[in-house]
Amino acid sequence: MVTIQIVDNIANVQETIATACVKANRNSDDVTLVAVSKQKPVDAILAAMQAGLTHFGENRVGEFTEKIPLVNNQVSRKPTWHMIGHIQSRKAKDVVPLIDYVHSIDRLKIARKLSDLAQATNKTISALVEVNASGEAAKYGFEVSGWQDNEAVKDAFWQDMRAIMELPNLEIRGLMTMAPFYDNMEDTRPIFADVAALRACLQGELDISLPDLSMGMTNDYAVAIEEGATIVRVGRAIFGNR
Ligand SMILES: *Cc1c(COP(=O)(O)O)cnc(C)c1O
């Protein structure tokens, strides 16, 4: 029963992605669906893999250190594992061996720590710099709200980005953001557009390549895709409520 529902949900999400891509004149191959499996059992992940998904997102170290090996051991081809949650410094050592893609580089200290650990194990981790573009106090991420008008905000972030880009064994591929929860999905649009503009500006001014924008969750991924998301992180629409 659960499995059938998941397969159905995935088809619906993929259709929503395709529709958003058509609307934005984008190729749906350019959008990666990360299925956020936090708080969901291994069986649900295996069902989603059988339906064709290959990217999964987790947000708690204590949870994924148990789940990821269980999944990896049962499949012929391991999925790509994404860490989407805040990482405490002392837990960084548990992230590096299991995770392929970190979305939550939310401070310089954790970037340095992950770089050091990755270097020590000869691994390169793909990573995204998380930005707080809404000014919400409860959010993690580099504070960038107002960057278009506020030189001090922009300068501080540019300096952090320069430092992060230099770290070995972290391949910085772009930015990640979370919009606040709004009843109307349209209200998220200015935030996603702002982060897309931030990426474009960084690429131009720092002469770097940032191919990825991770933005959009169950509530708002259609709008995020219209504004340029290349990775969407969808949990509830696939696995049901937590
Ligand atoms: C939980 C979570 C998601 C998925 O949220 P849903 O509403 O279940 O789609 C996406 N991104 C982050 C950072 C999350 O913590």
Tokens (6 digits) for 86? 């805040």
- Name the E strands within 79-151: 80-83, 101-105, 125-132, 142-143
More confident: 139 or 228: 228
For ligand 1, the distance from its centroid to the CA atom of residue 152, given in whole angstroms, is 30
Contact 223, 188 (CB under 8 A): yes
Pocket test for ligand 1, best of 6, 9, 32, 59 (most atoms within 8 A of CB): 59
Residue type for position 195: V
Distance CA 58, CA 99 (A): 9
> Which residue minimizes the CA distance to atom 6 of ligand 1?
235
Helical axes 42-50 vs 61-72, angle rounded to 10°:
50
Express each pLDDT in 28-51 by its tens digit. Answer: 999 999 999 999 999 999 999 999
For ligand 1, the distance from its centroid to the CA atom of residue 134, given in whole angstroms, is 17
pLDDT of residue 233 exceeding 60: yes
pLDDT of residue 91 exceeding 80: yes
CB neighbours (10 Å) of residue 206?
A: 13
pLDDT of residue 153 exceeding 70: yes
State pTM to two decimals.
0.97
> Which atom of ligand 1 lies nearest, measured to the CA of 59?
15
> Which atom of ligand 1 lies nearest, measured to the CA of 103?
13
Q: Using the 8-state DSSP alphabet, how is residue 18 labeled?
A: H
pLDDT band at 3 (very low <50, low <70, confident <90, very high): confident
Range 61-90 average pLDDT: 98
